[in-house]
Structure 1
Amino acid sequence: MRIFTSRENCPFPLRALVHEFAGGDLFVLVEGGVGHLGALTLSLPRESQGAPGETRASTSVLTAPGHRDDEAAREMSDILVRALGRKVGMVVGMHFPGLKPAELDLVRAEWRFLAREISTAWPVEDNDGSRGN
């Protein structure tokens, strides 16, 4: 398991714990502020119908009532699947009490940063299941 953290100057720190299964699938847990179970996703790679050869994500989402963590879970899963061509399971739970709309943009930027950091830490999964870059 590997741990990824927000940039040092982030006022709303996030943490991602990433586990790679023996078959190459990834499980990612993202938390920030008051951590909880807010949303779960399962994202599968598929070839784009409009752009052959390009990887897209087919994502299923479960969101706890009253929570909005699905935005982060869906976007982060999509970034990882497109970059790596792997199945990604994700749980996201972050709550920063009193967060203002402008501050939410900072949190969004941070979850995008974490997704990019994770995507560069693993090799790309080729269509035949082998790993290449």
Structure 2
Amino acid sequence: MQGEDFRKMFKTYQFQAGTGKHTVYLMATATESGIMIHLIGGEVPHLGAVVLSLPRPSRSNPERTSCTTSVLPLAAHKDELAAKMVAETITRQISKPVTVAAGLHIKNATQKDIITLMQNSRNAALQLIDAMQKDFSFS
């Protein structure tokens, strides 16, 4: 497919949450079969982890969506914490496979810095969920 026909097969989104060194940027491409996300921010955006989350019925309540998640972190990185949380949050709400490539870094980060980056990552994910629920009908 070319031109307009191809662009009808996906939708892109961009969100940010937080300010200063705690700013998180979420860029997503949604297709009928899943969502691909880049999650970057802090002082040094980079690639620190890749996560794939697949929806499945919850074991405790099959009417609810849960997920199975695979994590590939780069050595000496903790980006998988935010990537996994974002992927699972979105997968549970949208019931589609989600990938997240994440890189969030603050030099000499404190526990408070990490908590703030996690909160901002969650806020960006919730913005995406809200926008997608308005744009698409998900089963």
With the shorter chain as reference, the TM-score category is: 0.7 to 0.9
Aligned to 2:117: 107
Task: Name the CA distance, whole Å, in 1 between partners of 2:53 and 2:20.
Answer: 28
| Superposed counterparts of 1:40-119, under 5 Å | 40-119=50-129
Aligned to 1:27: 36
Which of 17, 24, 41 is matched with 1:6 structurally?
17
Query: Judging changes above 3 Å, is the alpha-carbon distance between structure 1 residues 48 and 110 closer, same or farther for their aligned structure 2 residues?
Result: same
Tell whether the 8 Å contact from 2:24 to 2:120 is kept in structure 1 after alignment. yes
The TM-score with structure 1 as length reference comes to 0.87
Higher helix share: 2
Instruction: Give aligned-pair identity as a percent.
Output: 24
Correspondence 1:131 to 2:137? yes
What do the CA deviations read for 1:68-111 (whole angstroms, capped 9, x no partner)?
00100111111000111111011000111121112221111111
The TM-score with structure 2 as length reference comes to 0.83
Task: Name the CA distance, whole Å, in 2 between partners of 1:36 and 1:80.
Answer: 22
Query: Unaligned stretches of 5+ in structure 2?
Result: 1-11
Task: Name the CA distance, whole Å, in 1 between partners of 2:61 and 2:50.
Answer: 28
